[in-house]
Protein backbone atom coordinates (compact mmCIF):
# COMPACT_ATOMS: atom_id res chain seq x y z
CA UNK A 1 0.00 0.00 0.00
CA UNK A 2 1.29 3.47 -0.82
CA UNK A 3 2.14 6.16 1.68
CA UNK A 4 -0.51 8.37 0.08
CA UNK A 5 -3.25 5.81 0.74
CA UNK A 6 -2.09 5.41 4.35
CA UNK A 7 -2.09 9.18 4.77
CA UNK A 8 -5.60 9.50 3.33
CA UNK A 9 -6.85 6.75 5.64
CA UNK A 10 -5.24 8.53 8.60
CA UNK A 11 -6.89 11.83 7.65
CA UNK A 12 -10.29 10.12 7.40
CA UNK A 13 -9.78 8.50 10.80
CA UNK A 14 -8.82 11.86 12.33
CA UNK A 15 -11.87 13.55 10.81
CA UNK A 16 -14.12 10.75 12.02
CA UNK A 17 -12.66 11.02 15.53
CA UNK A 18 -13.13 14.82 15.57
CA UNK A 19 -16.69 14.44 14.28
CA UNK A 20 -17.48 11.84 16.94
CA UNK A 21 -16.10 14.06 19.73
CA UNK A 22 -18.05 17.06 18.45
CA UNK A 23 -21.21 14.95 18.45
CA UNK A 24 -20.67 13.61 21.99
CA UNK A 25 -19.78 16.99 23.49
CA UNK A 26 -22.57 18.89 21.67
CA UNK A 27 -25.07 16.28 22.86
CA UNK A 28 -23.71 16.61 26.41
CA UNK A 29 -24.04 20.39 26.27
CA UNK A 30 -27.63 19.97 25.07
CA UNK A 31 -28.45 17.61 27.95
CA UNK A 32 -26.96 20.04 30.49
CA UNK A 33 -28.83 22.91 28.83
CA UNK A 34 -32.13 21.05 29.12
CA UNK A 35 -31.39 20.20 32.77
CA UNK A 36 -30.53 23.85 33.45
CA UNK A 37 -33.76 25.09 31.86
CA UNK A 38 -35.78 22.50 33.81
CA UNK A 39 -33.98 23.64 36.97
CA UNK A 40 -34.99 27.27 36.21
CA UNK A 41 -38.63 26.23 35.96
CA UNK A 42 -38.44 24.06 39.09
CA UNK A 43 -37.07 26.82 41.31
CA UNK A 44 -39.48 29.36 39.85
CA UNK A 45 -37.18 32.38 39.62
CA UNK A 46 -35.55 33.71 36.47
CA UNK A 47 -38.02 31.73 34.38
CA UNK A 48 -40.40 33.09 31.79
CA UNK A 49 -42.72 32.30 28.94
CA UNK A 50 -43.87 29.59 28.18
CA UNK A 51 -43.84 28.68 31.90
CA UNK A 52 -44.82 32.12 33.18
CA UNK A 53 -46.85 34.93 31.66
CA UNK A 54 -44.00 37.35 30.91
CA UNK A 55 -41.30 37.12 28.26
CA UNK A 56 -37.87 37.22 29.92
CA UNK A 57 -34.25 36.48 29.00
CA UNK A 58 -35.10 32.85 29.89
CA UNK A 59 -37.59 32.83 26.99
CA UNK A 60 -34.92 33.96 24.54
CA UNK A 61 -32.41 31.48 25.98
CA UNK A 62 -34.66 28.67 24.70
CA UNK A 63 -33.56 29.69 21.18
CA UNK A 64 -30.20 27.99 21.84
CA UNK A 65 -31.87 24.75 20.76
CA UNK A 66 -32.61 26.29 17.37
CA UNK A 67 -28.85 26.83 17.04
CA UNK A 68 -27.40 23.66 18.57
CA UNK A 69 -29.77 20.97 17.26
CA UNK A 70 -29.04 21.58 13.53
CA UNK A 71 -25.32 21.30 14.28
CA UNK A 72 -25.84 17.97 16.05
CA UNK A 73 -28.01 16.72 13.20
CA UNK A 74 -25.51 17.73 10.51
CA UNK A 75 -22.61 16.26 12.47
CA UNK A 76 -24.50 12.98 12.93
CA UNK A 77 -25.12 12.92 9.16
CA UNK A 78 -21.37 13.17 8.52
CA UNK A 79 -21.12 16.85 7.65
CA UNK A 80 -18.06 18.79 8.74
CA UNK A 81 -19.57 21.71 10.67
CA UNK A 82 -16.86 22.39 13.26
CA UNK A 83 -17.01 26.11 12.48
CA UNK A 84 -20.73 26.13 13.18
CA UNK A 85 -20.17 24.34 16.52
CA UNK A 86 -17.47 26.88 17.40
CA UNK A 87 -19.88 29.76 16.67
CA UNK A 88 -22.66 28.19 18.78
CA UNK A 89 -20.28 27.39 21.66
CA UNK A 90 -18.70 30.86 21.78
CA UNK A 91 -22.14 32.50 21.57
CA UNK A 92 -23.42 30.18 24.30
CA UNK A 93 -20.45 30.88 26.57
CA UNK A 94 -20.86 34.62 26.10
CA UNK A 95 -24.56 34.47 26.96
CA UNK A 96 -24.07 32.10 29.91
CA UNK A 97 -21.29 34.25 31.29
CA UNK A 98 -23.22 37.48 30.87
CA UNK A 99 -26.40 36.13 32.45
CA UNK A 100 -24.84 34.25 35.35
CA UNK A 101 -21.58 35.98 36.22
CA UNK A 102 -21.38 39.60 34.97
CA UNK A 103 -22.24 41.88 37.91
CA UNK A 104 -25.26 43.81 36.70
CA UNK A 105 -28.54 44.51 38.43
CA UNK A 106 -30.36 41.78 36.53
CA UNK A 107 -27.83 38.96 36.44
CA UNK A 108 -28.61 35.62 38.00
CA UNK A 109 -26.22 35.12 40.90
CA UNK A 110 -25.27 31.45 41.24
CA UNK A 111 -25.27 31.56 45.05
CA UNK A 112 -28.19 33.90 45.82
CA UNK A 113 -30.52 33.01 42.95
CA UNK A 114 -29.71 29.33 42.48
CA UNK A 115 -28.29 27.73 45.63
CA UNK A 116 -30.09 29.65 48.40
CA UNK A 117 -33.53 29.40 46.72
CA UNK A 118 -33.64 25.69 47.50
CA UNK A 119 -34.45 24.66 51.06
CA UNK A 120 -32.21 21.61 50.68
CA UNK A 121 -28.45 22.14 50.38
CA UNK A 122 -28.30 18.97 48.25
CA UNK A 123 -30.82 20.38 45.75
CA UNK A 124 -28.98 23.72 45.67
CA UNK A 125 -25.66 21.99 45.10
CA UNK A 126 -27.17 19.84 42.32
CA UNK A 127 -28.39 23.02 40.59
CA UNK A 128 -24.87 24.50 40.79
CA UNK A 129 -23.37 21.24 39.47
CA UNK A 130 -25.76 21.40 36.50
CA UNK A 131 -24.66 24.98 35.78
CA UNK A 132 -20.98 23.98 36.09
CA UNK A 133 -21.59 20.99 33.79
CA UNK A 134 -23.26 23.26 31.26
CA UNK A 135 -20.41 25.78 31.31
CA UNK A 136 -17.81 22.99 31.10
CA UNK A 137 -19.50 21.14 28.25
CA UNK A 138 -19.99 24.32 26.21
CA UNK A 139 -16.34 25.27 26.84
CA UNK A 140 -15.21 21.79 25.75
CA UNK A 141 -17.37 22.12 22.63
CA UNK A 142 -15.60 25.37 21.75
CA UNK A 143 -12.15 23.81 22.30
CA UNK A 144 -13.01 20.65 20.35
CA UNK A 145 -14.46 22.63 17.45
CA UNK A 146 -11.40 24.91 17.38
CA UNK A 147 -9.04 21.91 17.35
CA UNK A 148 -11.07 20.27 14.55
CA UNK A 149 -10.87 23.48 12.50
CA UNK A 150 -7.14 23.76 13.15
CA UNK A 151 -6.58 20.16 12.04
CA UNK A 152 -8.67 20.72 8.92
CA UNK A 153 -6.60 23.81 8.04
CA UNK A 154 -3.43 21.75 8.53
CA UNK A 155 -4.81 18.98 6.29
CA UNK A 156 -5.60 21.50 3.57
CA UNK A 157 -2.13 22.99 3.80
CA UNK A 158 -0.55 19.52 3.69
CA UNK A 159 -2.74 18.47 0.76
CA UNK A 160 -1.81 21.67 -1.11
CA UNK A 161 1.91 21.00 -0.57
CA UNK A 162 1.49 17.41 -1.75
CA UNK A 163 -0.25 18.56 -4.92
CA UNK A 164 2.44 21.17 -5.54
CA UNK A 165 5.22 18.60 -5.04
CA UNK A 166 3.43 16.17 -7.40
CA UNK A 167 3.08 18.88 -10.04
CA UNK A 168 6.72 19.94 -9.64
CA UNK A 169 7.87 16.35 -10.17
CA UNK A 170 5.89 16.09 -13.40
CA UNK A 171 7.66 19.07 -14.94
Q: Does 64 score more than 90 pLDDT? A: yes
The model's pTM: 0.79
Average pLDDT on 66-92 reads 95
Are the beta carbons of 145 and 89 closer than 8 angstroms? yes
| Residue extents of the structural domains in the chain | 3-170
d(CA 145, CA 127): 27
Asked if 149 contacts 22 with a C-beta cutoff of 8 angstroms, the reply is no
pLDDT tens profile 11-33 = 566 667 889 999 999 999 999 99
Amino acid sequence: MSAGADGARGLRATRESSRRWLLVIAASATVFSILHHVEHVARGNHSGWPFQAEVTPFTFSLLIYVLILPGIYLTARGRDVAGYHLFVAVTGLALLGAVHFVPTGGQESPIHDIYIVYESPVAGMLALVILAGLMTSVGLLAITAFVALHRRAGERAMWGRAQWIGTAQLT
